[in-house]
Structure 1
Protein backbone atom coordinates (compact mmCIF):
# COMPACT_ATOMS: atom_id res chain seq x y z
CA UNK A 1 0.00 0.00 0.00
CA UNK A 2 1.13 3.58 -0.67
CA UNK A 3 1.27 5.76 2.45
CA UNK A 4 1.15 9.55 2.60
CA UNK A 5 0.89 10.43 6.29
CA UNK A 6 3.10 7.66 7.70
CA UNK A 7 6.44 6.30 6.52
CA UNK A 8 7.00 2.55 6.64
CA UNK A 9 10.45 0.95 6.69
CA UNK A 10 11.93 -2.45 7.56
CA UNK A 11 15.51 -3.12 8.63
CA UNK A 12 17.13 -5.99 10.51
CA UNK A 13 13.84 -7.64 11.63
CA UNK A 14 12.45 -4.31 12.90
CA UNK A 15 9.58 -2.49 11.20
CA UNK A 16 9.31 1.27 11.82
CA UNK A 17 6.18 3.37 11.34
CA UNK A 18 6.91 7.10 11.36
CA UNK A 19 4.01 9.50 11.89
CA UNK A 20 4.47 12.10 9.19
CA UNK A 21 2.21 15.13 9.58
CA UNK A 22 4.88 17.38 11.10
CA UNK A 23 3.22 20.59 9.99
CA UNK A 24 0.22 19.57 12.15
CA UNK A 25 2.33 18.24 15.04
CA UNK A 26 1.30 14.75 13.93
CA UNK A 27 -2.30 15.19 15.01
CA UNK A 28 -4.50 12.38 13.76
CA UNK A 29 -6.81 13.09 10.87
CA UNK A 30 -8.83 10.38 9.13
CA UNK A 31 -6.03 9.58 6.69
CA UNK A 32 -3.26 9.19 9.25
CA UNK A 33 -5.39 7.09 11.61
CA UNK A 34 -6.35 4.83 8.69
CA UNK A 35 -2.77 4.54 7.47
CA UNK A 36 -1.34 3.79 10.93
CA UNK A 37 -3.78 0.93 11.36
CA UNK A 38 -3.02 -0.46 7.92
CA UNK A 39 0.74 -0.16 8.47
CA UNK A 40 0.52 -2.04 11.78
CA UNK A 41 -1.47 -4.83 10.12
CA UNK A 42 0.95 -4.93 7.17
CA UNK A 43 3.93 -5.38 9.50
CA UNK A 44 2.05 -8.06 11.42
CA UNK A 45 1.88 -10.05 8.17
CA UNK A 46 5.51 -9.40 7.20
CA UNK A 47 7.58 -12.49 8.06
CA UNK A 48 10.77 -10.37 7.97
CA UNK A 49 9.54 -8.27 10.92
CA UNK A 50 9.63 -9.37 14.57
CA UNK A 51 9.24 -5.99 16.33
CA UNK A 52 7.54 -2.67 15.46
CA UNK A 53 8.60 0.86 16.38
CA UNK A 54 6.26 3.86 16.22
CA UNK A 55 8.09 7.19 16.06
CA UNK A 56 7.41 10.57 14.48
CA UNK A 57 8.88 13.25 12.25
CA UNK A 58 8.90 16.92 13.15
CA UNK A 59 9.01 18.96 16.31
CA UNK A 60 6.65 16.78 18.39
CA UNK A 61 5.66 13.11 18.65
CA UNK A 62 1.87 13.62 18.52
CA UNK A 63 -0.41 16.30 19.91
CA UNK A 64 -3.74 14.47 19.62
CA UNK A 65 -6.49 14.44 17.03
CA UNK A 66 -7.33 17.06 14.44
CA UNK A 67 -10.24 18.83 16.14
CA UNK A 68 -11.12 20.71 12.97
CA UNK A 69 -13.52 17.79 12.43
CA UNK A 70 -15.54 18.84 15.49
CA UNK A 71 -17.92 21.17 13.72
CA UNK A 72 -21.68 20.71 14.13
CA UNK A 73 -22.02 17.12 12.93
CA UNK A 74 -24.52 14.53 14.14
CA UNK A 75 -23.85 11.64 16.53
CA UNK A 76 -24.12 9.28 13.55
CA UNK A 77 -21.37 11.21 11.77
CA UNK A 78 -19.08 11.52 14.78
CA UNK A 79 -19.17 7.91 15.98
CA UNK A 80 -17.29 6.27 13.04
CA UNK A 81 -14.70 9.05 13.24
CA UNK A 82 -14.19 8.58 16.99
CA UNK A 83 -13.88 4.81 16.54
CA UNK A 84 -11.23 5.30 13.87
CA UNK A 85 -9.26 7.68 16.12
CA UNK A 86 -9.01 4.97 18.79
CA UNK A 87 -8.72 1.88 16.56
CA UNK A 88 -4.92 1.88 16.68
CA UNK A 89 -5.08 1.13 20.43
CA UNK A 90 -6.89 -2.13 19.67
CA UNK A 91 -4.63 -2.91 16.72
CA UNK A 92 -1.49 -2.53 18.84
CA UNK A 93 -2.90 -4.95 21.42
CA UNK A 94 -4.19 -7.42 18.84
CA UNK A 95 -1.04 -7.91 16.76
CA UNK A 96 1.42 -10.46 18.07
CA UNK A 97 4.56 -8.42 17.48
CA UNK A 98 5.76 -6.11 20.26
CA UNK A 99 5.20 -2.42 19.52
CA UNK A 100 7.60 0.17 20.96
CA UNK A 101 6.79 3.89 21.12
CA UNK A 102 9.83 6.12 20.55
CA UNK A 103 8.79 9.50 21.92
CA UNK A 104 10.33 12.94 21.52
CA UNK A 105 9.13 16.31 22.79
CA UNK A 106 5.32 16.45 23.17
CA UNK A 107 2.91 13.50 23.40
CA UNK A 108 -0.51 14.70 24.52
CA UNK A 109 -4.17 13.67 24.13
CA UNK A 110 -4.18 10.79 21.63
CA UNK A 111 -0.38 11.04 21.64
CA UNK A 112 -0.22 9.93 25.27
CA UNK A 113 -2.87 7.35 24.40
CA UNK A 114 -0.58 5.74 21.81
CA UNK A 115 2.33 5.74 24.27
CA UNK A 116 0.14 3.98 26.86
CA UNK A 117 -1.22 1.55 24.28
CA UNK A 118 2.20 0.50 22.99
CA UNK A 119 3.70 -2.55 24.68
CA UNK A 120 6.86 -0.62 25.58
CA UNK A 121 7.94 3.01 25.38
CA UNK A 122 11.26 4.86 25.26
CA UNK A 123 11.33 8.65 25.61
CA UNK A 124 13.88 11.38 25.18
CA UNK A 125 14.81 13.27 28.33
CA UNK A 126 12.93 16.40 27.21
CA UNK A 127 9.70 14.53 26.37
CA UNK A 128 6.47 15.69 27.99
CA UNK A 129 3.11 13.95 28.30
CA UNK A 130 -0.45 14.92 29.07
CA UNK A 131 -4.12 13.97 28.69
CA UNK A 132 -4.94 17.53 27.70
CA UNK A 133 -8.33 17.35 25.97
CA UNK A 134 -10.04 18.76 29.08
CA UNK A 135 -8.14 22.00 28.46
CA UNK A 136 -9.98 22.57 25.16
CA UNK A 137 -13.41 21.57 26.43
CA UNK A 138 -13.24 17.89 25.43
CA UNK A 139 -12.10 14.81 27.37
CA UNK A 140 -9.50 12.09 26.81
CA UNK A 141 -12.03 9.26 26.88
CA UNK A 142 -10.27 7.04 24.35
CA UNK A 143 -6.76 7.55 25.76
CA UNK A 144 -8.17 6.87 29.24
CA UNK A 145 -8.56 3.18 28.35
CA UNK A 146 -4.86 2.34 27.75
CA UNK A 147 -3.86 4.83 30.45
CA UNK A 148 -6.02 3.02 33.01
CA UNK A 149 -4.43 -0.29 32.01
CA UNK A 150 -0.95 1.17 32.36
CA UNK A 151 -1.25 3.48 35.35
CA UNK A 152 -4.26 2.49 37.46
CA UNK A 153 -7.32 4.50 38.51
CA UNK A 154 -5.99 7.37 40.64
CA UNK A 155 -3.09 8.44 38.43
CA UNK A 156 -5.18 8.12 35.24
CA UNK A 157 -7.97 10.23 36.74
CA UNK A 158 -5.43 12.82 37.85
CA UNK A 159 -4.09 13.14 34.32
CA UNK A 160 -7.42 13.18 32.47
CA UNK A 161 -9.21 15.49 34.95
CA UNK A 162 -6.44 18.08 35.35
CA UNK A 163 -4.97 18.05 31.86
CA UNK A 164 -1.59 18.61 33.51
CA UNK A 165 1.67 18.02 31.65
CA UNK A 166 4.24 15.65 33.16
CA UNK A 167 7.90 15.29 32.27
CA UNK A 168 9.81 12.16 31.30
CA UNK A 169 11.02 11.49 34.84
CA UNK A 170 7.46 11.43 36.17
CA UNK A 171 6.31 9.33 33.20
CA UNK A 172 8.98 6.77 34.07
CA UNK A 173 8.11 6.86 37.78
CA UNK A 174 4.40 6.12 37.19
CA UNK A 175 5.05 3.40 34.57
CA UNK A 176 3.95 5.20 31.40
CA UNK A 177 7.37 4.66 29.80
CA UNK A 178 10.14 2.10 30.27
CA UNK A 179 13.28 4.12 29.68
CA UNK A 180 14.62 7.67 29.29
CA UNK A 181 17.54 8.42 26.97
CA UNK A 182 19.33 11.62 25.90
CA UNK A 183 17.55 13.40 23.07
CA UNK A 184 20.41 12.82 20.64
CA UNK A 185 20.42 9.08 21.36
CA UNK A 186 16.69 8.36 21.01
CA UNK A 187 16.77 6.84 17.52
CA UNK A 188 19.78 4.58 18.14
CA UNK A 189 18.71 3.55 21.65
CA UNK A 190 15.24 2.61 20.38
CA UNK A 191 16.77 0.55 17.58
CA UNK A 192 19.05 -1.19 20.07
CA UNK A 193 16.08 -1.94 22.35
CA UNK A 194 14.02 -3.23 19.43
CA UNK A 195 16.90 -5.40 18.17
CA UNK A 196 17.16 -7.03 21.60
CA UNK A 197 13.53 -8.16 21.25
CA UNK A 198 13.83 -8.97 17.55
CA UNK A 199 16.53 -11.53 18.30
CA UNK A 200 14.25 -13.51 20.62
CA UNK A 201 12.27 -16.48 19.32
CA UNK A 202 9.45 -14.79 17.34
CA UNK A 203 6.98 -17.66 17.73
CA UNK A 204 7.30 -17.56 21.51
CA UNK A 205 7.23 -13.74 21.57
CA UNK A 206 4.08 -13.42 19.49
CA UNK A 207 2.07 -16.17 21.16
CA UNK A 208 3.23 -14.86 24.53
CA UNK A 209 2.07 -11.30 23.80
CA UNK A 210 -1.33 -12.45 22.58
CA UNK A 211 -1.73 -14.62 25.66
CA UNK A 212 -0.81 -11.67 27.89
CA UNK A 213 -3.52 -9.44 26.47
CA UNK A 214 -6.13 -12.20 26.64
CA UNK A 215 -5.51 -12.86 30.34
CA UNK A 216 -5.52 -9.20 31.31
CA UNK A 217 -9.27 -9.01 31.96
CA UNK A 218 -9.85 -12.64 32.98
CA UNK A 219 -10.63 -14.14 36.35
CA UNK A 220 -7.40 -15.44 37.92
CA UNK A 221 -8.26 -19.14 37.58
CA UNK A 222 -9.39 -18.69 33.95
CA UNK A 223 -6.18 -16.82 33.15
CA UNK A 224 -4.06 -19.59 34.63
CA UNK A 225 -5.87 -22.21 32.55
CA UNK A 226 -5.55 -20.18 29.34
CA UNK A 227 -1.82 -19.68 29.86
CA UNK A 228 -1.48 -23.41 30.57
CA UNK A 229 -3.06 -24.09 27.18
CA UNK A 230 -0.91 -21.51 25.40
CA UNK A 231 2.32 -22.78 26.96
CA UNK A 232 1.47 -26.37 26.04
CA UNK A 233 0.76 -25.17 22.49
CA UNK A 234 4.09 -23.37 22.37
CA UNK A 235 5.89 -26.54 23.43
CA UNK A 236 4.50 -28.38 20.38
CA UNK A 237 5.94 -25.88 17.88
CA UNK A 238 9.13 -26.55 15.93
CA UNK A 239 10.82 -23.19 16.48
CA UNK A 240 10.55 -23.15 20.30
CA UNK A 241 11.63 -26.80 20.43
CA UNK A 242 14.71 -25.96 18.38
CA UNK A 243 15.51 -23.02 20.67
CA UNK A 244 15.21 -25.22 23.75
CA UNK A 245 17.53 -27.83 22.25
CA UNK A 246 20.06 -25.14 21.41
CA UNK A 247 19.89 -23.83 25.00
CA UNK A 248 20.32 -27.32 26.47
CA UNK A 249 23.26 -28.11 24.19
CA UNK A 250 24.92 -24.83 25.15
CA UNK A 251 24.29 -25.53 28.83
CA UNK A 252 25.72 -29.05 28.58
CA UNK A 253 28.89 -27.71 26.96
CA UNK A 254 29.32 -25.23 29.81
CA UNK A 255 28.87 -28.00 32.40
CA UNK A 256 31.38 -30.25 30.65
CA UNK A 257 33.79 -27.35 30.48
CA UNK A 258 33.56 -26.96 34.24
Structure 2
Protein backbone atom coordinates (compact mmCIF):
# COMPACT_ATOMS: atom_id res chain seq x y z
CA UNK A 1 0.00 0.00 0.00
CA UNK A 2 1.24 3.48 -0.87
CA UNK A 3 -0.83 5.72 1.39
CA UNK A 4 -1.83 3.45 4.27
CA UNK A 5 -0.19 1.15 6.76
CA UNK A 6 -2.01 -1.82 8.30
CA UNK A 7 -1.18 -4.01 11.25
CA UNK A 8 -3.10 -6.44 13.45
CA UNK A 9 -2.74 -6.81 17.20
CA UNK A 10 -4.86 -9.72 18.35
CA UNK A 11 -8.43 -8.99 17.26
CA UNK A 12 -7.79 -5.29 16.59
CA UNK A 13 -6.78 -3.98 13.17
CA UNK A 14 -4.94 -0.65 12.91
CA UNK A 15 -5.08 1.48 9.75
CA UNK A 16 -2.63 4.38 9.71
CA UNK A 17 -3.17 7.17 7.16
CA UNK A 18 0.33 7.80 5.80
CA UNK A 19 0.15 10.66 3.32
CA UNK A 20 2.07 13.26 5.30
CA UNK A 21 3.47 15.02 2.22
CA UNK A 22 -0.11 16.22 1.77
CA UNK A 23 -1.10 16.39 5.47
CA UNK A 24 -2.97 13.08 5.25
CA UNK A 25 -5.45 14.44 2.73
CA UNK A 26 -8.00 12.04 1.30
CA UNK A 27 -6.85 11.94 -2.30
CA UNK A 28 -8.62 9.73 -4.84
CA UNK A 29 -5.79 7.20 -4.76
CA UNK A 30 -5.81 7.06 -0.95
CA UNK A 31 -9.59 6.63 -0.83
CA UNK A 32 -9.49 3.79 -3.36
CA UNK A 33 -6.76 2.13 -1.31
CA UNK A 34 -8.74 2.60 1.92
CA UNK A 35 -11.94 1.17 0.45
CA UNK A 36 -10.09 -1.89 -0.84
CA UNK A 37 -8.37 -2.45 2.52
CA UNK A 38 -11.59 -2.11 4.52
CA UNK A 39 -13.32 -4.61 2.26
CA UNK A 40 -10.44 -7.09 2.68
CA UNK A 41 -10.60 -6.71 6.47
CA UNK A 42 -14.37 -7.17 6.42
CA UNK A 43 -14.16 -10.33 4.31
CA UNK A 44 -11.31 -11.88 6.32
CA UNK A 45 -13.18 -11.50 9.65
CA UNK A 46 -9.87 -11.84 11.55
CA UNK A 47 -10.46 -8.74 13.72
CA UNK A 48 -13.48 -7.36 15.55
CA UNK A 49 -12.55 -3.69 15.65
CA UNK A 50 -10.68 -1.44 13.23
CA UNK A 51 -8.83 1.63 14.52
CA UNK A 52 -8.15 4.43 12.03
CA UNK A 53 -5.32 6.75 13.07
CA UNK A 54 -3.28 9.59 11.62
CA UNK A 55 0.15 10.86 12.54
CA UNK A 56 1.61 12.85 15.42
CA UNK A 57 1.05 16.02 13.36
CA UNK A 58 -2.41 15.59 11.85
CA UNK A 59 -5.21 13.04 11.81
CA UNK A 60 -6.56 14.04 8.41
CA UNK A 61 -6.78 17.37 6.59
CA UNK A 62 -9.76 16.36 4.46
CA UNK A 63 -9.82 16.36 0.68
CA UNK A 64 -7.01 17.90 -1.34
CA UNK A 65 -8.10 21.34 -2.55
CA UNK A 66 -5.32 21.19 -5.14
CA UNK A 67 -6.71 17.92 -6.51
CA UNK A 68 -10.23 19.39 -6.57
CA UNK A 69 -9.03 22.52 -8.35
CA UNK A 70 -7.15 20.57 -11.01
CA UNK A 71 -9.86 18.02 -11.81
CA UNK A 72 -12.88 18.42 -14.08
CA UNK A 73 -16.38 18.42 -12.61
CA UNK A 74 -16.85 14.75 -13.52
CA UNK A 75 -13.49 13.85 -11.99
CA UNK A 76 -14.42 15.70 -8.79
CA UNK A 77 -17.71 13.80 -8.75
CA UNK A 78 -15.74 10.53 -8.98
CA UNK A 79 -13.58 11.66 -6.03
CA UNK A 80 -16.61 12.29 -3.83
CA UNK A 81 -18.37 9.14 -5.01
CA UNK A 82 -15.28 7.18 -3.97
CA UNK A 83 -15.42 8.85 -0.55
CA UNK A 84 -19.10 7.85 -0.41
CA UNK A 85 -18.10 4.23 -1.04
CA UNK A 86 -15.56 4.36 1.81
CA UNK A 87 -18.21 5.67 4.21
CA UNK A 88 -20.62 2.97 3.03
CA UNK A 89 -17.99 0.25 3.47
CA UNK A 90 -17.27 1.47 7.01
CA UNK A 91 -20.97 1.34 7.81
CA UNK A 92 -21.62 -2.09 6.29
CA UNK A 93 -18.52 -3.97 7.46
CA UNK A 94 -19.09 -6.28 10.46
CA UNK A 95 -16.33 -4.73 12.57
CA UNK A 96 -16.75 -1.59 14.65
CA UNK A 97 -14.60 1.30 13.41
CA UNK A 98 -12.88 3.57 15.94
CA UNK A 99 -11.16 6.82 14.98
CA UNK A 100 -8.09 7.62 17.08
CA UNK A 101 -7.45 11.37 16.80
CA UNK A 102 -4.24 12.87 18.16
CA UNK A 103 -4.23 16.23 16.36
CA UNK A 104 -6.44 18.00 13.81
CA UNK A 105 -9.35 16.38 11.96
CA UNK A 106 -10.48 18.81 9.28
CA UNK A 107 -13.35 18.78 6.74
CA UNK A 108 -13.56 15.22 5.34
CA UNK A 109 -11.17 14.23 8.14
CA UNK A 110 -13.85 15.39 10.58
CA UNK A 111 -16.36 13.46 8.46
CA UNK A 112 -14.24 10.33 8.89
CA UNK A 113 -14.44 10.74 12.67
CA UNK A 114 -18.18 11.37 12.56
CA UNK A 115 -18.79 8.36 10.31
CA UNK A 116 -16.83 6.04 12.63
CA UNK A 117 -18.78 3.99 15.13
CA UNK A 118 -16.71 5.43 18.00
CA UNK A 119 -13.87 7.90 18.44
CA UNK A 120 -11.17 8.65 21.00
CA UNK A 121 -9.33 11.99 20.98
CA UNK A 122 -6.29 13.34 22.71
CA UNK A 123 -6.51 16.63 24.58
CA UNK A 124 -4.50 18.13 21.72
CA UNK A 125 -7.06 17.16 19.05
CA UNK A 126 -9.25 19.73 17.34
CA UNK A 127 -12.01 19.51 14.76
CA UNK A 128 -13.31 21.79 12.01
CA UNK A 129 -15.33 21.87 8.79
CA UNK A 130 -13.76 24.99 7.25
CA UNK A 131 -14.66 24.46 3.59
CA UNK A 132 -16.83 27.57 3.55
CA UNK A 133 -13.69 29.66 4.08
CA UNK A 134 -12.54 28.52 0.61
CA UNK A 135 -15.96 28.87 -0.99
CA UNK A 136 -16.50 25.09 -0.90
CA UNK A 137 -19.19 24.37 1.70
CA UNK A 138 -18.56 21.11 3.59
CA UNK A 139 -21.73 19.49 2.24
CA UNK A 140 -20.56 15.89 2.58
CA UNK A 141 -19.00 16.26 6.06
CA UNK A 142 -22.26 17.95 7.11
CA UNK A 143 -24.16 14.68 6.71
CA UNK A 144 -22.39 12.69 9.43
CA UNK A 145 -21.52 15.74 11.54
CA UNK A 146 -25.19 16.69 11.84
CA UNK A 147 -26.02 13.11 12.83
CA UNK A 148 -23.45 13.18 15.64
CA UNK A 149 -23.91 16.58 17.24
CA UNK A 150 -26.79 18.97 17.81
CA UNK A 151 -28.10 21.09 14.98
CA UNK A 152 -27.01 24.44 16.39
CA UNK A 153 -23.40 23.32 16.96
CA UNK A 154 -23.26 21.69 13.54
CA UNK A 155 -24.44 24.90 11.89
CA UNK A 156 -21.87 26.88 13.87
CA UNK A 157 -19.03 24.62 12.71
CA UNK A 158 -20.20 24.50 9.09
CA UNK A 159 -20.87 28.21 8.63
CA UNK A 160 -17.99 29.70 10.62
CA UNK A 161 -15.33 27.15 9.74
CA UNK A 162 -13.92 27.55 13.24
CA UNK A 163 -12.18 24.77 15.15
CA UNK A 164 -13.68 23.21 18.24
CA UNK A 165 -11.56 21.65 20.96
CA UNK A 166 -11.49 17.99 21.94
CA UNK A 167 -13.50 18.81 25.06
CA UNK A 168 -16.17 20.55 22.97
CA UNK A 169 -16.22 17.53 20.64
CA UNK A 170 -16.81 15.31 23.69
CA UNK A 171 -19.49 17.63 25.08
CA UNK A 172 -21.40 17.63 21.78
CA UNK A 173 -21.09 13.91 21.05
CA UNK A 174 -18.51 13.80 18.27
CA UNK A 175 -16.10 11.64 20.30
CA UNK A 176 -16.53 9.06 23.08
CA UNK A 177 -13.66 10.16 25.30
CA UNK A 178 -10.79 12.62 25.57
CA UNK A 179 -7.51 11.57 27.13
CA UNK A 180 -4.00 12.98 27.58
CA UNK A 181 -1.93 12.54 24.41
CA UNK A 182 0.45 10.12 26.11
CA UNK A 183 -2.49 7.83 26.99
CA UNK A 184 -4.20 7.92 23.59
CA UNK A 185 -2.81 4.59 22.37
CA UNK A 186 -3.57 2.83 25.65
CA UNK A 187 -7.09 4.20 26.04
CA UNK A 188 -8.05 3.51 22.42
CA UNK A 189 -6.83 -0.07 22.73
CA UNK A 190 -8.74 -0.44 25.99
CA UNK A 191 -11.98 0.67 24.31
CA UNK A 192 -11.35 -1.60 21.33
CA UNK A 193 -10.75 -4.58 23.62
CA UNK A 194 -14.09 -3.98 25.33
CA UNK A 195 -15.64 -4.73 21.93
CA UNK A 196 -13.38 -7.66 21.03
CA UNK A 197 -14.73 -9.60 24.02
CA UNK A 198 -17.95 -9.99 22.04
CA UNK A 199 -18.96 -12.30 19.19
CA UNK A 200 -18.19 -10.85 15.75
CA UNK A 201 -21.42 -12.39 14.47
CA UNK A 202 -23.42 -10.48 17.07
CA UNK A 203 -21.38 -7.30 16.59
CA UNK A 204 -22.30 -7.50 12.90
CA UNK A 205 -25.99 -8.16 13.67
CA UNK A 206 -26.11 -5.37 16.26
CA UNK A 207 -24.32 -2.82 14.09
CA UNK A 208 -26.75 -3.43 11.23
CA UNK A 209 -29.78 -3.20 13.55
CA UNK A 210 -28.52 -0.04 15.27
CA UNK A 211 -28.07 1.94 12.06
CA UNK A 212 -31.27 0.62 10.47
CA UNK A 213 -33.46 1.74 13.36
CA UNK A 214 -31.81 4.98 14.38
CA UNK A 215 -33.78 7.25 12.02
CA UNK A 216 -37.06 5.32 12.10
CA UNK A 217 -40.16 6.49 13.96
CA UNK A 218 -40.16 5.04 17.49
CA UNK A 219 -42.64 2.21 17.05
CA UNK A 220 -41.51 1.40 13.52
CA UNK A 221 -38.04 1.00 15.04
CA UNK A 222 -39.39 -1.09 17.91
CA UNK A 223 -41.28 -3.36 15.52
CA UNK A 224 -38.12 -3.89 13.45
CA UNK A 225 -36.03 -4.46 16.61
CA UNK A 226 -38.57 -6.99 17.88
CA UNK A 227 -38.11 -9.10 14.76
CA UNK A 228 -34.31 -8.79 14.96
CA UNK A 229 -34.06 -9.82 18.61
CA UNK A 230 -36.33 -12.83 18.08
CA UNK A 231 -34.03 -14.08 15.31
CA UNK A 232 -30.98 -13.15 17.38
CA UNK A 233 -32.20 -15.36 20.23
CA UNK A 234 -31.76 -18.48 18.08
CA UNK A 235 -28.31 -17.55 16.78
CA UNK A 236 -25.69 -20.12 17.87
CA UNK A 237 -23.66 -17.41 19.61
CA UNK A 238 -26.71 -16.19 21.52
CA UNK A 239 -27.44 -19.73 22.67
CA UNK A 240 -23.79 -20.16 23.71
CA UNK A 241 -23.82 -16.81 25.52
CA UNK A 242 -26.97 -17.67 27.46
CA UNK A 243 -25.59 -21.08 28.45
CA UNK A 244 -22.33 -19.46 29.56
CA UNK A 245 -24.27 -16.97 31.69
CA UNK A 246 -26.06 -19.74 33.58
CA UNK A 247 -22.90 -21.84 33.83
CA UNK A 248 -20.93 -18.83 35.13
CA UNK A 249 -18.17 -19.07 32.52
CA UNK A 250 -16.88 -17.05 29.59
CA UNK A 251 -18.64 -17.80 26.32
CA UNK A 252 -16.75 -19.42 23.45
CA UNK A 253 -17.82 -17.59 20.31
CA UNK A 254 -18.11 -19.15 16.89
CA UNK A 255 -15.20 -17.91 14.76
CA UNK A 256 -16.99 -18.46 11.45
CA UNK A 257 -19.83 -16.39 10.05
CA UNK A 258 -23.18 -17.85 11.06
CA UNK A 259 -26.71 -16.57 10.56
CA UNK A 260 -30.22 -17.66 11.45
CA UNK A 261 -33.24 -17.62 9.15
**Shared fold per TM-score greater than 0.5:** yes
> Which segment is superposed worse, 218-227 or 104-113?
218-227
- Report how far residue 47 of structure 1 moved: 2.4
User: What is the correspondence of 1:78-97 to structure 2 with a 5 Å cutoff?
Assistant: 78-97=76-95
Q: What is the match of residue 224 of structure 2?
A: 226
Return the alpha-carbon distance in structure 1 between the equivalents of residues 99 and 70 of structure 2: 34
Q: What is the match of residue 255 of structure 1?
A: none
- Report how far residue 21 of structure 1 moved: 0.5
Q: 2:55 touches 2:102 (CA, 8 Å); kept in 1?
A: no
- Report how far residue 70 of structure 1 moved: 2.4
Q: What is the match of residue 254 of structure 1?
A: none
Return the alpha-carbon distance in structure 2 between the equivalents of residues 116 and 231 of structure 1: 27
> Which segment is superposed worse, 218-227 or 152-161?
218-227
Q: What is the match of residue 207 of structure 1?
A: 205
Return the alpha-carbon distance in structure 2 between the equivalents of residues 16 and 226 of structure 1: 33
Are 1:70 and 2:83 an aligned pair? no
Give per-residue Cα distances to partners, 1:62-87, cap 9 Å, x unaligned: 01111112236543332112211333
- Report how far residue 248 of structure 1 moved: 1.4
Structure 1 unaligned runs (5+)? 252-258
Q: What is the match of residue 110 of structure 2?
A: 112
Q: What is the match of residue 243 of structure 1?
A: 241
Q: 2:56 touches 2:102 (CA, 8 Å); kept in 1?
A: no
User: What is the correspondence of 1:137-148 to structure 2 with a 5 Å cutoff?
Assistant: 137-148=135-146
- Report how far residue 199 of structure 1 moved: 0.9
Q: 2:125 touches 2:165 (CA, 8 Å); kept in 1?
A: yes
Structure 1 or 2: more helix by fraction: 1
* TM, length-normalised to structure 1: 0.92
What SS does structure 1 have at the residue aligned with 2:94?
coil
> Which segment is superposed worse, 51-60 or 217-226?
217-226
Q: 1:23 touches 1:58 (CA, 8 Å); kept in 2?
A: no
User: What is the correspondence of 1:37-76 to structure 2 with a 5 Å cutoff?
Assistant: 37-71=35-69, 73-76=71-74
Give per-residue Cα distances to partners, 1:143-199, cap 9 Å, x unaligned: 100011111322111110110101111111011101011111111211111011111
Q: What is the match of residue 153 of structure 1?
A: 151
Q: 1:14 touches 1:53 (CA, 8 Å); kept in 2?
A: yes
Return the alpha-carbon distance in structure 2 between the equivalents of residues 231 and 211 of structure 1: 9
Give per-residue Cα distances to partners, 1:75-107, cap 9 Å, x unaligned: 333211221133322222222211100001111
Give per-residue Cα distances to partners, 1:14-48, cap 9 Å, x unaligned: 11111110221100111111111112111111222
Return the alpha-carbon distance in structure 1 between the equivalents of residues 71 and 28 of structure 2: 15
Corresponding pairs, count: 249
* TM, length-normalised to structure 2: 0.91
Q: 1:16 touches 1:54 (CA, 8 Å); kept in 2?
A: yes
> Which segment is superposed worse, 42-51 or 215-224?
215-224
